[in-house]
A and B are shown apart, each in its own frame.
Chain A
Amino acid sequence: MQMMILLAWRNIWRNKRRTAITISSIFFAVLFSIFMLALQNGSWGRMIDNALSSYFGYGQIHKKGYYDDPGINTLMEYTSDWKGKSKNIEHLKDFVPRLESFAMASYGNQTKGVMINGIDPKKENALTKLSGKITEGKYLELNDTAVMIAEGLASQLKIGVGDTIVFISQGYHGVNSAGKYTVKGLLHFGPPDLNKMMVYMPLPEAQQFFGCENLISTLIIDIDDRSNLPGIIKKLKSQVEPDLHEVIEWEQLVPNLLAAKQAKLNGVYIFMLILYTIISFGIFGTILMMIKERSYEFGILIGIGMKRKLLSMVVMLEIILLGMAGVFAGVIAAIPLVNYFRVNPIDMSHMEKGLDNMFDQYGFEPVLPTAFDISTFVSQAIIVFVICLLLATFAVWKIYHVKPVESMKN
């Protein structure tokens, strides 16, 4: 064993250029694959965070049955008990109440279907940073009898800040709901659908409008970090009355987002496959170089009595040592790189105007951060190392086919 290691070690340093090329190809393979995956995971993580924090939240609590059949008659009580619950669960920042339903909005001769969101302005702002979307006018106060509307809707109704808008709808248990409100502010939403239908009203005013005092449709779970979500959901599920309430996670709330992520990731996996293929050819080239360079020596060693199995083990050991060096160096180099782009994401707002608009349209920040996830480093290191081992089997195959006389002639 000692001689095997000695032989392998000395062979590694025998042709320094070949060794440098092999280690470099493995190094760049690991570095690129880690960075690419970290960028994809980070970008998608940020997009999901953007999408969830702009409206849906990471989870919601409803009256049981609301998820399957949402409507103004499936409401839950909003009591001070919920505040106590939020304090008992670690990483749960707050519960954000919302009363959501549809209505007809009218101004002058224009009429439009809208979605009314009764909100606690402070809590809503803490969750969705709604005040940042104001383009004209002011943000709501809890005791206002005014509304904020999306600027696309305002444009369709030809209404502005200070004008009075009229809503009519069917309220709780069939009551007629009607009211007129001053437009206090206009909001800009990236997604066109939201920009044409969103109306925000203080929660007490919305409850009065729909005739459902102390009732809400949704209690949004505001948390500190997405990674803590599973634990929070588990605790919440154990604390709510299963006959009265349901706890819904974001994957159920926005299945399209999850499907889009998966579809995009499939594309990434294909890209990674292409990357691995290119990497494999790079590493394979250096292994071929090594085999060619040493076929004469293989012939001698087998000729004087070294078994093919033992020779294969020496060559495998060489490739394992080179692989470990390249993988280790790649991981070490990837750590600061991934961390830098996690803290300083690639800013797409300086790119083409169209690209910037595309991000805005989907409601995403125009930045691409990396995700610093240990599993990314470990998985890519293992994959590239396994590629090295698989390619090394070619060297073994060649050794098992060496004919001493022919090799020595060459």
Chain B
Amino acid sequence: MTVIETKGITKVYNPKKVPVHALRGVDLTIRKGEFTAIVGPSGSGKTTLLNIIGGLDQASSGVVIVDGVDITRISDNKLIDFRKEKIGFVFQAYNLIPVLTAAENVEFIMLLQGISKDKRQKRVVELLKSVGIEDQADKRPSKLSGGQQQRVAVARALASKPSFVLADEPTANLDSKSTAQLLDIMAKLNQEEGMTFIFSTHDQRVIDRARRVVTLEDGMIISDVTR
């Protein structure tokens, strides 16, 4: 089952002054349950591709179909709703809400979805347990290590029961131990719950664990290997 389909995506920054072609016609299909790494050198267009797939940025041309919806044609308000319901985000810098505790960060997205308090709290406990930091639930992000924050970010990404999780350089700020723990958690969620993960990375440890590796260079896919 296809979750994401991009057709001929291009992205040009500064089109009127000094055009920078970040993506040059990317066609990519992601199916449910994939564990995909998008790799490539800095400036190859990995993050831009992820942002466009996640509806955080707009393509200059082309089509992005997520769960059967062309997200390049929907309004800003509907796109926000779409992100909330369909996509889980894990960012390189964790991007947790600093004034909320770990549990509240996970709960926040469900609150936006209008889920009842009982269900929210039950799921928060489950998710924090699944990422192994249930004992840190009442701590704010500033009191957590980088690895712990990223695990909270993963729990938050999964809270809304999204169609897939987009992770932009999720291990870039983590040490080896935290990276291994995070990858174990995500691999487990992928295998046991069938959650689709798409990473952008140049971390070899992540690339080694991915079952599909899409390589970008100069805004184009130069290889797509499924292992």
Chain A residues with CB under 8 Å of chain B are 3, 6-7, 10-11, 14, 297, 300-308, 310, 404-405, 408
Scan B79-116; emit 1 where CB is below 8 A from any A CB, else 0: 01101110001010001011110001000110110000
Q: Report chain A residues within 8 Å CB of B156.
A: 304
The smallest beta-carbon distance between A290 and chain B, in angstroms, is 13
Nearest B residue to A400 by beta-carbon distance? B76
Contact of A305 among B57, B84, B99 (CB under 8 A): B84
Chain B residues with CB under 8 Å of chain A are 51, 54, 56-57, 76-77, 80-81, 83-85, 89, 91, 95, 97-100, 104, 108-109, 111-112, 156, 160
* In the bound complex, CA of A6 to CA of B97 (Å): 12
Known: A297-B97, A300-B97, A304-B84. 7 other contacts (CB 8 A): A10-B99, A11-B99, A301-B97, A304-B156, A305-B80, A307-B80, A404-B57
Q: Report chain B residues within 8 Å CB of A297.
A: 97-98
* In the bound complex, CA of A11 to CA of B80 (Å): 23
A304 touches B99 (CB 8 A): no
Minimum-distance CB pairs A-B, first 8:
A305-B84, A10-B99, A300-B95, A405-B57, A305-B83, A404-B56, A405-B56, A3-B111
Nearest A residue to B77 by beta-carbon distance? A307
B51 touches A405 (CB 8 A): yes
Q: Report chain A residues within 8 Å CB of B97.
A: 7, 297, 300-301
Nearest A residue to B94 by beta-carbon distance? A300
A304 touches B83 (CB 8 A): yes
Q: Report chain B residues within 8 Å CB of A7.
A: 97, 99-100
Q: Report chain A residues within 8 Å CB of B56.
A: 303, 404-405, 408
Q: A404-B56, A405-B51, A405-B57 are in contact. Are A304 and B109 (CB under 8 A)?
A: yes
Q: Report chain B residues within 8 Å CB of A308.
A: 76-77, 80
* In the bound complex, CA of A100 to CA of B100 (Å): 81
Nearest A residue to B111 by beta-carbon distance? A3
The SS class assigned to the B binding surface is helix
Q: Report chain B residues within 8 Å CB of A301.
A: 97
* In the bound complex, CA of A306 to CA of B76 (Å): 12
Q: Report chain A residues within 8 Å CB of B104.
A: 6
Q: What are 26 residue pairs bridging A and B, where the CB atoms are less than 8 Å apart in the complex? A: A7-B100, A10-B100, A300-B97, A301-B97, A303-B56, A303-B89, A304-B84, A304-B89, A304-B109, A305-B80, A305-B83, A305-B84, A305-B85, A305-B109, A305-B160, A306-B80, A306-B84, A306-B112, A307-B80, A307-B112, A308-B76, A308-B80, A404-B57, A405-B51, A408-B91, A408-B95
Q: Report chain A residues within 8 Å CB of B91.
A: 300, 408
* In the bound complex, CA of A77 to CA of B12 (Å): 98
* In the bound complex, CA of A222 to CA of B76 (Å): 71
* In the bound complex, CA of A405 to CA of B55 (Å): 10
A305 touches B81 (CB 8 A): yes
Q: Report chain A residues within 8 Å CB of B57.
A: 404-405
Q: Report chain A residues within 8 Å CB of B84.
A: 304-306
Q: Report chain A residues within 8 Å CB of B98.
A: 14, 297
Contact of A303 among B76, B83, B85, B160 (CB under 8 A): B83
* In the bound complex, CA of A7 to CA of B111 (Å): 12
Q: Report chain B residues within 8 Å CB of A305.
A: 80-81, 83-85, 109, 112, 160
Nearest A residue to B82 by beta-carbon distance? A305
Q: Report chain A residues within 8 Å CB of B111.
A: 3
Q: Report chain A residues within 8 Å CB of B95.
A: 300, 303, 408
Q: Report chain A residues within 8 Å CB of B54.
A: 303
The smallest beta-carbon distance between A295 and chain B, in angstroms, is 13
Q: Report chain B residues within 8 Å CB of A6.
A: 104
* In the bound complex, CA of A307 to CA of B98 (Å): 19
A3 touches B108 (CB 8 A): yes
The smallest beta-carbon distance between A10 and chain B, in angstroms, is 4
The smallest beta-carbon distance between A292 and chain B, in angstroms, is 16
Q: A306-B112, A405-B57 are in contact. Are A14 and B89 (CB under 8 A)?
A: no
Nearest A residue to B99 by beta-carbon distance? A10
Q: Report chain B residues within 8 Å CB of A304.
A: 83-84, 89, 109, 156
* In the bound complex, CA of A303 to CA of B97 (Å): 12
The smallest beta-carbon distance between B95 and chain A, in angstroms, is 4
Nearest B residue to A7 by beta-carbon distance? B99
Q: Report chain B residues within 8 Å CB of A3.
A: 108, 111
The smallest beta-carbon distance between B212 and chain A, in angstroms, is 25
* In the bound complex, CA of A303 to CA of B57 (Å): 10
Q: Report chain B residues within 8 Å CB of A10.
A: 99-100
* In the bound complex, CA of A307 to CA of B111 (Å): 12
The smallest beta-carbon distance between B126 and chain A, in angstroms, is 19
